[in-house]
Amino acid sequence: MKRIDQLLAYAAQIDSPTAQLDAELLLAFVLDKPRSYLYTWPEKTVSEQQSAAFMMLFERRQRGEPVAYLLGRQGFWTLDLQVAEHTLIPRADTELLVEAALQLADAQSALQVLDLGTGTGALALALASERAQWTVTGVDRIESAVALAQSNQRQLQLNNVTFLPSSWFSALAGQCYDLIISNPPYIADNDPHLQRGDVRFEPLSALVSGPDGLDDLRLIIAQAPAYLSANGWLLLEHGFDQASAVRELLQQAGFVDVSSRRDLSKHERISLGRLPSLS
């Protein structure tokens, strides 16, 4: 029988820049313990069944499978979310959209908010958790993603958010929102990064958007004004080298106060604009 410290030392061989963290997360998951337990009791022995389960996960991680899919969970903002292989894994950079949305609006305003391409529901749920007075809607064209987002909602017991199937705005005729937010697909279909890292295992439909990666961003920007209230905001995540193109698209669509914000790596990761009042 192996000890905790022996398993962690072995699993640190994972070919990943976060090998030690990966090993800790996988072993803590198998033992159903917090990560702190691993270093409080490093000499504890692990049962043969637990050791076998850990080694199976370790081997899958060695083949490149994302830890979030192996655990079925991923942290985002202050939330612990269920994830599945038919949805994009929520990432820390996307929290920049949440920060920007919270900064734009008066904390006491009762806003109508839309999250396009909600996936796990990460953005919608983060905003709903921070602003109980907001009414948040999340949509996704993939019904299994909608079901997953609804499951996350029930787990978090958030009553001010609703999820429904819609391909972008297709099921939202007549609706009007004060704020629209989206992390759409924005990778070019021939981008070599699609063959590297975690994205190899994520659904292409959540990643790829035409030859320049801007197809979905163009559609959203063109159609959003019909669903935004006067002075409503559109906030979009995009690729690290797409900010200039997205700002231009926003300006061409009539948005004002257009700007971009940088992520943790100092890349311009999100762009936003306001739909002006007609008066």
Name which of 126, 140, 28, 19 is nearest 76 in CA terms.
126
Residue 53 in 3-state DSSP?
A: helix
| pLDDT tens string 30-43 | 999 999 999 898 99
What DSSP designation does 177 have? Answer: E
Domains of the chain are 4-64 (1.10.8), 74-274 (3.40.50.150)
Q: Rounded to the nearest 5 degrees, what angle is found at the Cα of 200, between the Cα atoms of 85 and 120?
A: 30
Confidence of residue 194 (pLDDT cuts 50, 70, 90): low
Measured N-to-C along each axis, helices 95-104 and 122-130 cross at an angle, to the nearest 10 degrees, of 40
| pLDDT tens string 130-168 | 999 999 999 999 999 999 999 999 999 999 999 999 999
pLDDT of residue 162: 98
With 60 as the cut, is the pLDDT of residue 279 above it? no
Residue type, 45: T
| Half-sphere exposure for 234 (CA within 13 Å, toward CB) | 32
Dihedral sign computed on CA atoms, order 204, 64, 190, 264 = positive
Mean pLDDT calculated for residue range 210-236: 95
With 80 as the cut, is the pLDDT of residue 202 above it? no
45 phi, psi to nearest 5 deg: -85, 150
Contact 263, 96 (CB under 8 A): yes
